[in-house]
Structures are given as structure tokens and as C-alpha cells.
Amino acid sequence: MKLRIVFMGTPRFAVPCLGALIGAGHAVAAAFTRKDKPVGRKQVLREPPVKALAREKGIPVFQPDTLRGPETERILRNLDPDAIVVAAYGKILPKNILDLPRLGCVNVHASLLPKYRGASPVQQAVLDGEAETGVTTMRMAEGLDTGDILLQERTPIGPDETAGELTVRLSELGAGLIVKTLSALEAGTATPVPQDEAGSSYAPMLTKERSPVDWTRTAREIHNQVRGLSPWPGACAGFGAKRLKIHRSRVARDAGGTPGRVLPGRAFTVACGGGTALELLEVQPEGGKKMSGTDFLRGHPLQGTVLKNV
């Protein structure tokens, strides 16, 4: 049976979910998304990716400042959805909205709940060096990502995979999982499982304060930082009075030396804590373009220099 759906989502992660609902033949009555945001130096307004797809498919778009208040509830009651599907929307749904659809509100979350609740589950899993993650669909409750689990799908994390690359894969997994979840809910075969609070953890929103590299950490830990903060906000180090953004790295052979010292050789390799070393494969100097680490060294012979924590 095809359902009447209201979709709530904002970034690229949510786009495959909306596309999958449309592709499965469900009637998407409306898409709720965040406000258009100014981007770039010229602060040009850019619409969220979900809005772009919804407009392309002729789906009405709503961008309310808040979901609290009578106006949003009135709109949703008039839309009369069987279910509200939420994927990286970025707003909290109040109880009156959670209770509105007959099949409830279902969230697609990019972690194996109860681990990594919160705003940056993909990035935090990579930062922590996890070998596995996944996606979870849950029936939403008033707490932050605390609702009963409906379905989960697992996937390994590649040792050099960035958070950006992993997010793309998880968005596709989530798209397939939400279609399966809605089918199970409608058929009455879904078995909600309460989350184990003892196993819960929280992934806070990322900020640029997490960007500076501490070279006294091991190469593996710094490599995870580079991967986990890619593409934003990015790991960075200091050379001279400038910042150097590190886009890609790999763990090199162990090497002694003062942590942060650029080791001799053609490759851009830096000594790290515990006698380990990290090769910087792709970097971007402040005010410049991305380039390979070896190309950067040709123009900036830093061998023997100690990179700063900035």
C-alpha cells in the first residue's frame, strides 16, 4: 500500500531518502526543510538540497522558523500524512507533531543507535576510529534520538575513508532502509526495540575548535582526525604565520623525532607521538588551492621544521 508522507530534511544526506520515497510510489504531500542560507563571500542565498529536489518533483515546500505553534500544526493536519519521515532536518519535533500521524514520525539516523546520538554521528565514528557503523530507523520520541529502534543496517568503515565519503554511503543505505521500515509499519510487522541507555553516547556538533592537530598524538589518531573532519571543518596545522589545511593523510612507517617535525625526504611526512609518523597526501595552504603534499614541499622546503598547533 502506498502511503501519504510528509518529509522533513535539509542537507544532501536526506536527498536519497526523499528520492527513495518518491521512487517507491508513496505520495509525498510536502517537504519541510530549513531556510535558504547565504553562502560564500558574496553571501548569495542557496536553497537546501532537499528543497531543490522537492521543487523539481513538484512537491510543496515549507520552511518554517519553528515547528512549535498552531500554524505548523494546522498545516500538517491539513496535509493529513500517514507518517512523517525525518532525515537530518535539524529541528526538534514537539509532542503535538510527533503524535499527529497514524504511523508516527520515523527518523533515519546515521549511526547504530544508541551509539552516537546527536548532530555529527558520522564524523564522530570516524574520529573515534570505529571499524563499523550503520543507519538506524526509529520511531521518534521527545528525547534526542531516543526513540525505539525499528530497523538497522551495518557497514564497515574503510581505514582511509573520510566522513564525507562515508556520509554518501550511509545516505544510500538509509534510503533503502526507510522504504523497508514504512512497509513493515504499514503491514504491522515492525517490532520496535527500546534503546539500551547504558550503551548510549553523544556526538556533539562539530566546530572549528576541533581542527588544530596535536602532533603529540599518534599518527593513527591524527589520521582519524583528518578523516573525521573532512570535508568540514578540516584538520589544520601551522607553518610560519599561516595555516595548512590537511585534506588527506596516511599512516607512515614509524619514525623517531620531535612530534610535529617534518621528516627528510620527498614525501610530506611528519613525526607524531609515540615514535609514529603521518604522511600528508593532500593539503591546502591558507589562501591557496588544494595540492599534493609533495607539490607543497617543492614550494615550501619545510624538512626539519616543526609544524605548530594552531
Predicted confidence (pLDDT) per residue in 151-187, tens digit? 999 999 999 999 999 999 999 999 999 999 999 999 9
* Helix 15-23 with 163-187: angle, nearest 10 deg: 40
**What does the pLDDT read at residue 50?**
98
Band (pLDDT 50/70/90 cuts) for residue 42 is confident
| Cell 498545516, located at residue | 75
Instruction: State the amino acid at position 109 in one-letter form.
Output: H
Neighbour tally for 29: CB within 10 Å:
18
> For residue 225, with 0-12 CB atoms within 10 Å meaning exposed, 13-18 middle and 19 or more buried, which class applies?
buried
291 backbone dihedrals φ, ψ, rounded to 5°: -155, 165
**What does the pLDDT read at residue 308?**
85
Would the CATH topology of 4-203 be identical to that of 208-299? no
Instruction: Give the right CATH number for 208-299 from 3.40.50.2300, 1.20.1530.20, 3.10.25.10, 3.40.50.150.
Output: 3.10.25.10
| pTM, entire model | 0.96
Q: Which residues lie below 8 Å from residue 270, measured CB to CB, with a gap of 6+?
A: 215, 237, 260, 261, 262, 263, 277, 278, 279, 280, 307
**What does the pLDDT read at residue 191?**
96
The answer to whether residue 40 scores a pLDDT higher than 90 is no
Say if residues 267 and 279 touch (Cβ distance below 8 Å).
yes
C-alpha cell at 90: 535539524
Say if residues 67 and 94 touch (Cβ distance below 8 Å).
yes
The answer to whether residue 2 scores a pLDDT higher than 90 is yes
The answer to whether residue 41 scores a pLDDT higher than 90 is no
Name the residue among 137, 146, 140, 85 with its Cα closest to residue 114: 146
The answer to whether residue 1 scores a pLDDT higher than 80 is no
Separation of alpha carbons 35 and 65, rounded Å: 8
C-alpha cell at 101: 500521524
Separation of alpha carbons 150 and 147, rounded Å: 9
Residue ranges covered by each domain of the chain:
4-203, 208-299
Percent of the chain, pLDDT > 90?
Answer: 94
Say if residues 242 and 210 touch (Cβ distance below 8 Å).
no
214 backbone dihedrals φ, ψ, rounded to 5°: -100, 105
The answer to whether residue 39 scores a pLDDT higher than 90 is no
Q: What is the pLDDT of residues 212-264, one digit of tens each?
A: 999 999 999 999 999 999 999 999 999 988 999 999 999 999 988 899 999 99
Instruction: Note if the bond before 114 is cis, omega within 30 degrees.
Output: yes
The answer to whether residue 197 scores a pLDDT higher than 80 is yes
**What does the pLDDT read at residue 284?**
97
CATH number of 4-203: 3.40.50.170
Name the residue among 181, 134, 138 with its Cα closest to residue 153: 134
